[in-house]
Amino acid sequence: MQETLNTKQTAQLDIGGVIHREFQEKLFNEIKAMQYRIQGLAAYIQNDFERMLEDGTTNKEHINAEITEMDEQYDKFIMELNKLRKQARDLMTFHGA
């Protein structure tokens, strides 16, 4: 019953409405997927650096190289998140204005 109702509602939308609905769903899924990416960024600091330096698992040069990589990944994430925020804001403004 619900599936039929949703199909009928979609069918009543004009092409612009269908495109907006598809865009909104895609945007929602992209924002939701960011939670997994932030977990990946947290991995940069999950290790016990003191222990790793002491037991020789890593060295200061390797940690310094990782800092550069981490900065690049965080900057990329923030840029993508800002892009999604702008798209969400534009969508909400379109419907709210």
Residues 27/86, Cβ–Cβ less than 8 Å: no
Split at pLDDT 50, 70, 90, the class of 19 is confident
**pLDDT > 80? residue 3:** no
pLDDT category of residue 12 using cuts at 50, 70 and 90: low
Alpha-carbon span 49 to 22, nearest angstrom:
45
- Give the global pTM: 0.70
What is the rounded CA–CA span in Å between residue 20 and residue 26? Answer: 10
The percent of residues in the chain predicted with pLDDT above 70, rounded, is 80
Q: Using CA atoms, how far apart are residues 54 and 60, in angstroms rounded to an integer? A: 11
Amino acid 44: pLDDT? 87
pLDDT at 61 exceeding the cut of 70: yes
Residues 6+ apart with CB under 8 A from 34: 77, 80, 81, 84
